[in-house]
Amino acid sequence: MTLGHKKGTTMPDTDRCPDCSRINEVLSRVGDRWSVLVVISLSRYGVQRFNALKKNLGISQRMLSLTLKQLERDGLISRTYHPTIPPKVEYALTPLGEEFRAPVTALGHWALDNLRAIDAARDVYDAALEEARE
């Protein structure tokens, strides 16, 4: 697949983007906000325990639990249980998760770099709307 834009390429609008549905499928699994943030956090700080992630991300216990389970099921993170008292569970990126780091951190960087630009664009847009209303 070539995601890059080619000047001469015209969309055959009789057909639908064959890859979009597949990309959609994957994104619907590991592309949600919490999954992305968990991976970013594990990328940044390495192995982390349940409550560390929880505090770190400001995520509810319920959502973290669900997100971690899905990520483990999808093979992106590993869960290591230490049967001590009190118990200790550590989460880390698997090799597949490590591969996910590059695109996900790229996304994170872009988000941080362009937060202001987006806010500015919003202000302009909203102001123009306000203008038109009168």
Least Å distance, CB 81 to DNA, is 7
Pick from a second copy, DNA, none: which does 87 bind, CB < 5 to 8 A by kind?
DNA
Q: Residue 80 touches which of DNA, a second copy, none (CB < 5 to 8 A by kind)?
A: none
88 binds, among DNA, a second copy, none (CB under 5 to 8 A by kind): DNA
How far is residue 8's CA from residue 123's CA, in Å, rounded to a whole number?
A: 35
115, 129 in Cβ contact below 8 A? Answer: no
From the list a second copy, DNA, none, which binds 116 (C-beta under 5 to 8 Å, kind-based)? none
Task: Answer yes or no: are the C-beta atoms of 32 and 64 closer than 8 Å.
Answer: no
Report residue 13 as tokens: 């609008």
- 73 vs 49, 69, 81, 103, CA distance in Å? 18, 6, 16, 20
Using CB under 7 A, count the residues that bind DNA.
21
Whole-angstrom distance, CA of residue 117 vs CA of residue 123: 10
Name the residue among 34, 42, 52, 43 with its Cα closest to residue 88: 52
Write each residue from 81 to 120 as x if it is in contact with DNA (CB under 7 A), else as -, in one continuous string: -----xxxxx------------------------------
Site residues for DNA, window 69-88 (CB under 7 A)? 69, 79, 86-88
Which of 16, 22, 44, 65 is in the footprint of DNA by CB under 7 A? 65
Residues near DNA (CB under 7 A): 32-34, 49-52, 59-63, 65, 68-69, 79, 86-90
